[in-house]
Structure 1
Amino acid sequence: MRRLALIALPLFLAACGDAPESEGEAGAGQGTIEPVADATLELQGTGIVIPAQAGFEELAVPFGSARAPTEATLANLVGSAIDESDEPNECGLTFTSFEGLSLNFRDGQFVGYTAEAPYVPETTRGEMLAGDNVTMVEDSTVGEEFVIGAEAGPEITGLFLGESDDAAVQMLWAGENCIAR
């Protein structure tokens, strides 16, 4: 049974793709960066950590990091961006989306993320709820919502695909996000 850490909750998650074939930097429009095969990310309540892998040293991308280096750092691992916005949405956030990962920015600073497959754990609802510091959000208007972490600290929020114990994790998010409630 997995134990979930209070704040740093490492969620070692597999990504799909081929070896890197970068021709330019993310957002530079100079080519396509392919995702690293079997890449992993540690999604945390304070940002994202890229563990040492595929010739890269461990890199931390905490909330508050500048947009361009954040995008470039993550693109080297997860591949080229598939969508981005420089115009703030109704929540005042801009974004850059990669396959399975979206980064949110406010005034050019990394402030939040949302993650879906392949960056969510392949852990069932029953396994997650059996761990420490995982609770369901009662009367949630967005679905089977859960929170990982203590109320006083940084949290990761997520959704299960259903109410059964074998329901998969659909999505995770932390930091500032524009979730319609």
Structure 2
Amino acid sequence: MRHAGLLLPVLLLAACGQSGEGGASGAEPDGEAAVSDAVAADEASLGPKDMIDLQASGITVPAQDGDETLEVPFGSLREATEATLAGVLGDVLSRQEYEECPGGPLAVTEYAGLSLTFNEDDRFVGWFARAPYTPADSRSAMLAADGVMLEEDSTLGEEFTIGDPAGPIISGLFAGEGDDAAVEALWAGTNCIFR
């Protein structure tokens, strides 16, 4: 088994999604964050690299196997984004077009556990994560961390945010209201989420 690590600088994180054939997601969050616990993932579902850092401003692939750190910030071109992340995320499961998203039309490239969102200009504008890219921390552990706040009036369910509300944030959903509820999804940037 491989480990898909998400490092959370000063304990931050979040995500959510919907799919047609593969998947899509949505929201407008951001904030330099990733998850502190490594999450086990099946080798067949991931590429040859072991880790990514999901951040409020994009995705970073830490230096591994002698390779350099790779930065994929929001605003990167789709072709370059997909090429850079191909060795980490594995095979593309599907590509979807969503014409009626709250922020306008979006295209989504779906991988096992992670969706990348692109705007009409083919720019990388968001990500949406599920297992194995979500933290193993419980709801109580997450909410005890600095910078993690429950969204009281969310229409999505048990939504939370990570980061300074004045800056880019990561958003997420807990699987329920109990202290031991798992993190179900995380997202940052622009996604196709209807509130």
Q: 1:59 aligns with which of 66, 70, 74?
A: 70
Q: Secondary structure at the match of 2:41?
A: coil
State how far apart, in whole Å, the 1-side matches of 2:65 and 2:116 are: 22
Q: 1:157 aligns with which of 171, 174, 184?
A: 171
Q: Residue 57 of structure 2 aligns with which residue?
A: 46
Q: Quick one: structure 1 residues 14 and 35, their matched pair in 2 at CA, closer, same or farther if it must change by over 3 Å? A: farther
Contact 2:126 2:190 in 1 (8 A): yes
CA displacement 1:131-165 (0-9 Å, x = unmatched):
11111111211110000011111000000011111
Q: Residue 134 of structure 2 aligns with which residue?
A: 120
Query: Is 1:18 paired with 2:32?
Result: no
Query: Is 1:95 paired with 2:108?
Result: yes
TM-score where L is the length of structure 1? 0.83
Which of 1 and 2 has greater Rg?
1
State how far apart, in whole Å, the 2-side matches of 1:43 and 1:138 are: 24
Q: 1:35 aligns with which of 25, 47, 58?
A: 47
Q: CA deviation at 1:62?
A: 0.3
Structure 1 residue ranges, 4+ long, deviating more than 3 angstroms after superposition: 12-15
Q: Quick one: structure 1 residues 5 and 143, their matched pair in 2 at CA, closer, same or farther if it must change by over 3 Å? A: closer
Q: Quick one: structure 1 residues 49 and 34, their matched pair in 2 at CA, closer, same or farther if it must change by over 3 Å? A: closer
State how far apart, in whole Å, the 1-side matches of 2:42 and 2:87 are: 12
Report which stretch shifted further, 45-54 or 2-11. Answer: 2-11
Q: Quick one: structure 1 residues 15 and 50, their matched pair in 2 at CA, closer, same or farther if it must change by over 3 Å? A: farther
State how far apart, in whole Å, the 2-side matches of 1:55 and 1:179 are: 38
Q: Quick one: structure 1 residues 70 and 15, their matched pair in 2 at CA, closer, same or farther if it must change by over 3 Å? A: farther
Q: Residue 124 of structure 2 aligns with which residue?
A: 110
Q: Residue 81 of structure 2 aligns with which residue?
A: 70
Contact 2:12 2:148 in 1 (8 A): no
CA displacement 1:36-93 (0-9 Å, x = unmatched):
26x22111110011111244321110000000111111121110100003x4421211
Identity level (%): 51
Q: CA deviation at 1:16?
A: 2.5
- Counterpart of 2:153, as a letter, is D
Q: CA deviation at 1:18?
A: 3.5
Aligned length: 165
TM-score where L is the length of structure 2? 0.78
Q: Quick one: structure 1 residues 34 and 162, their matched pair in 2 at CA, closer, same or farther if it must change by over 3 Å? A: closer
Unaligned runs of 5+ in 2: 1-7, 14-30
- Counterpart of 1:35, as a letter, is G
Unaligned runs of 5+ in 1: 20-32
State how far apart, in whole Å, the 2-side matches of 1:15 and 1:81 are: 20
